[in-house]
Amino acid sequence: MARVLIVDDSAIMRRNLKTIFVQAGHTVVGEATNGGQALLMYRTHVPDLVTMDITMPNVNGIEAVRLIRKEFTDAKIIMVSALDQRKMVLEALKEGAKHYIIKPIDSASVIKVVNKVLGTCIEEPNEESNEAPDENAPEGIDDAPFVIKNSENTFHIVLSPSLNEESFASLTQAVQGLLFVKPLKVELNFGSIEMLPDPLLDKVGGMIKAIRNVEGIIRVVAPNKDFVKTVKEKRVHDLAEIIEAI
């Protein structure tokens, strides 16, 4: 199991990452709130792995990668970024970061990337490398069951027709990570979905209830008017009353 250094100025994010690592059997040897602290802690602990936030006070994540890699060329650093930080992630990868994780995080995606970085050393990335996000790529991925983007203090969740029970479990984990955000604002968009099975609709209703239980504000929209009509007719709890056609 790996010895991990977590670098993030958000106490909530550090706590969430620590929980994920500990549950997976890893050891968190230190927590830093900026890049300067990260370098000092790296010198002290020489961890097997570092998770690095990008936007931090004093010394940001990109500069921290540069400083750590200058002294420790074999350092394995994973960037933790928001979806709208493509250019900064690309810059960090050019400086030597091995991979990246997109917020909001969930246990499955974090451990998948960690295992990949620890298992095989990824080659030095460049703009053509599939390890670097394409800064000209569209915001969503066509076959992804859902996409989450943080824009103007609102988390936009867009669902796709490929959503199923398994992928909804991942969505639930991601949303649970958002429940610590204050104030929490969410827009849920059913995208091109024409219909969902009743069990999934009920689970969406449960997710909406969870957001409301932490005093979060949520708007639910769907481009398909027939879908909206059906949901209202089914009277799905916590969903039928607020869904609107756009």
Question: Both 14 and 100 in a single domain?
Answer: yes
List, for residues 93-140, the tens digit of each pLDDT value. 889 998 888 888 888 888 888 988 887 333 333 443 334 444 433 344
Q: Answer yes or no: do 11 and 105 share one domain.
A: yes
Coil vs helix vs strand at 188: strand
Q: Quick check: is 135 in a domain?
A: no
Tally of domains in the chain = 2
Q: Give the amino acid at 110.
A: V
Q: Note down the domain range covering 177.
A: 146-245
pLDDT tens-digit profile of 68-84? 999 999 999 999 987 66
CA–CA distances in Å: residue 69 to residues 1, 46, 93: 22, 12, 11
What percent of the chain clears pLDDT 90, i.e. is strictly above it?
A: 51
The rounded distance, in Å, linking the Cα atoms of 116 and 161 is 29
Going by C-beta distance under 8 Å and a sequence separation of 6 or more, which residues neighbour residue 164? 145, 200
The pLDDT tens digits for 184-218 are 899 999 999 999 999 999 999 999 999 999 899 99
131 occurs within a structural domain: no
Task: Mark whether 102 and 154 lie in a shared domain.
Answer: no
Whether 13 and 105 share a structural domain:
yes
One domain, residues 76 and 17: yes
- Residue 104 shares a structural domain with residue 158: no
Q: Has residue 7 been placed in a domain?
A: yes
Within a domain: 163: yes
d(CA 37, CA 32): 5
151 and 114 in a common domain:
no
141: in domain: no
What is the model's pLDDT at position 103? 83
What's the rounded Cα separation, in Å, for the pair 42 and 53? 15
User: pLDDT at position 83, please?
Assistant: 64
- pTM comes to 0.53
C-alpha–C-alpha distance, residues 56 and 36, integer Å: 10
How many angstroms separate the Cα of 123 from the Cα of each of 93, 112, 116, 128, 214?
A: 10, 17, 12, 12, 43
Q: Do 202 and 97 have their domain in common?
A: no
Across the beta sheet with 27-32, the strand order is: 27-32, 3-7, 49-53, 77-81, 99-102
In a domain, 166, yes or no: yes
Q: Is residue 137 part of a domain?
A: no
Per-residue pLDDT of 20-70, as tens digits, reads 999 888 999 999 999 999 999 999 999 999 999 999 988 999 999 999 999
